Amino acid sequence: MSEQGTIDVTDCKRCADLVESRSQIVNGVGPGDADLLFVGEAPGEQEDIEGEPFVGRSGEILDSVLAEYGLDRETVRITNAVKCRPPENRDPTATELANCRPHLEREVAGVDPAVIVTLGKVPSEHLLGRSVAVTNEAGSVESITIDGTAYRVLIGLHPAATLYDPSTRETFEAVIDEATELVAGLR
């Protein structure tokens, strides 16, 4: 079990644009020994204000679907590939992702989850190190290695996708269902 302090980022100034645009560093939330680790892209405006990932509309969707499968924020860990809000909610740059990668890897290693669920294209491509057609590949499981330890990565859609295209809700729910089944199979 990890101590929360060892996986939180308390001070980072690697990305000048992000230091200027953020009001705070948004660390992951949830148990430091969670079986499921959800990884999003970067904090949005609401997340930057509240200091917690996925608290806006996307967070409401994530929470709702987690509840459908018997999960909640108290039992899973939720984080982002980049801990600071990019200006004007733009995508994080490759440099920003690379600068934040050690923080993410430390969090993954500290939590040691049974399954990592990516929420969207950016975290999927960042963790897997390849181009990902997230809509087509959602539900696929791949393996990555961090510090010599293998982790299973389940590719998922970003919850916001269900706002823009309601037909993706079923795929989003199927990924959460698969995540719970994968964890249950590992117990």
Instruction: Report the pLDDT value the prediction gives residue 65, as an integer from 0 to 100.
Output: 98
Q: What is the pLDDT of residues 85-117, one digit of tens each?
A: 999 989 999 999 999 999 999 999 999 999 999
Strand order in the sheet with 77-80: 77-80, 36-40, 115-119, 149-156, 141-146
Q: What is the pLDDT of residues 76-85, one digit of tens each?
A: 999 999 999 9
pLDDT tier at 12 (50, 70, 90 boundaries)? very high
In whole angstroms, give the CA distance from residue 174 to residue 106. Answer: 28
pTM more than 0.85: yes
Residue 1 has pLDDT above 70, yes or no: no
Q: Residue 174 class from Cβ within 10 Å (0-12 exposed, 13-18 middle, 19+ buried)?
A: middle
SS3 111: helix
CB atoms within 10 A of CB 20: 9
Q: Is the pLDDT of residue 2 over 60?
A: no
Neighbours of 163 (CB within 10 A): 14
Average pLDDT taken over every residue of the chain: 95
> Does residue 113 contact residue 36 with C-beta atoms inside 8 Å?
yes
Rounded to an integer, the average pLDDT of 20-29 is: 96
Average pLDDT for 31-44: 97
Q: Which fold has domain 4-186?
A: Uracil-DNA Glycosylase, subunit E (3.40.470)
pLDDT at 7 over 90: no
